[in-house]
Amino acid sequence: MALNTLVDGLAFAEGLRWHEGQLWFSDMHEGSVWRVSEDGTQHRVCEVAGRPSGLGWLPGGDLLIVSMMDKKVLRLGAGGKLSEHADLSTVALRRTNDMVVDRSGRAYVGNFGFDFEEGEAQVATPLAIVEPDGRVSATADKLIFPNGMVITADGKMLVAAETFAACLTAFDIDANGALTNRRVWADIGGGAVPDGICMDDNGAIWVASPTTGECLRIVEGGEVTGRIDTGRQAIACALGGAKGDVLFIATSATVNREECRELRSGRIEYTVTPK
């Protein structure tokens, strides 16, 4: 499938989300959150000095933003003011990362667990659960670099991408929001690793793989039923558009922060997928 460019000249796009007819994303290495319409019109939503990543919304419409370096979830109210929604430092030993928010406003937030840029040994880590009122607890321990996450349409299952374990891991969501019944949803081979992910209407998961420069459509059990070659590092993905069939992919020539800020090679590309 051919790719078209929606946005170019970014430092490093992350956390793609389709919401209310627009694509929202974090420019992590620039420190800003944006929304863009399908015609490419861009609007800067806010600035986040601590490096923004995962995005989601509370039922009342307030935007939640993961602030990676200070291990917090920020809340952007209707008046445009940022405030602290939750402090994740009791759960996250290293920087926080992606997030998914359920229909009730409960957020699940991943964290690195170890600093791979500094050569630290791999350490397993839990996810943080953030209740709608900001209370924080831990769930699903022993994940290896939990990254992108999705919740099924019925709200009963969460799938997390374990980047450095090269797999997608599924959990049932109990009545209190805790994650139970852990199992491997799909092993990912061929040198690919899962970064950002999204789920289509048929229950398959699109996986952005930076190591292989592609976006893969994977069904439960691991079969690859679709493959898009980006020719660059594929960082995150989201489905959107009026029919929900437009696949947006964040790509970059590099993941190094200083190179990203200098080269501005980040893009959001897109293609229409078969329904």
pLDDT of residue 258: 93
pLDDT of residue 39: 87
**Locus of tokens 């994940």:** 143
Q: What is the dihedral of CA 130, 58, 162, 117, to 10 degrees?
A: -80
Structure tokens at 92: 């996250």
pLDDT of residue 122: 77
Q: What is the bridge-based pairing of β-strands 233-240 and 146-151?
A: unpaired
- The per-residue pLDDT for range 30-66, each reduced to its tens digit, is 999 999 998 889 999 999 999 999 999 999 999 999 9
* Buried-state track 73-89, b at ≥16 Cβ within 10 A, e below 16: bbbbeeeeebeebbbbe
Query: What string of DSSP letters covers 233-263?
Result: EEEEEEEESTTS-EEEEEEES---HHHHHHH
Sign of the four-CA dihedral 273, 202, 252, 191 = negative
- The per-residue pLDDT for range 211-270, each reduced to its tens digit, is 999 999 999 999 999 999 999 999 999 999 999 999 999 999 998 999 999 999 999 999
pLDDT of residue 113: 76
Strand partners, 202: none
pLDDT of residue 275: 67
**For residue 245, what are the contacts with CB-CB under 8 A and spacing of at least 6?**
239, 272, 273, 274, 275
Sheet holding 233-240, edge to edge: 4-10, 266-272, 246-252, 233-240
- The per-residue pLDDT for range 93-143, each reduced to its tens digit, is 889 999 999 999 999 999 997 676 667 777 899 999 999 999 999 999 999
73 has a pLDDT exceeding 90: yes
Q: Which amino acid does the sequence have at 91?
A: V
Q: Percent of the chain, pLDDT > 70?
A: 98
Interatomic CA distance for residues 206 and 116, integer angstroms: 25
Structure tokens at 133: 């009122």
Interatomic CA distance for residues 248 and 241, integer angstroms: 9
**pTM for this model (two decimals):** 0.96
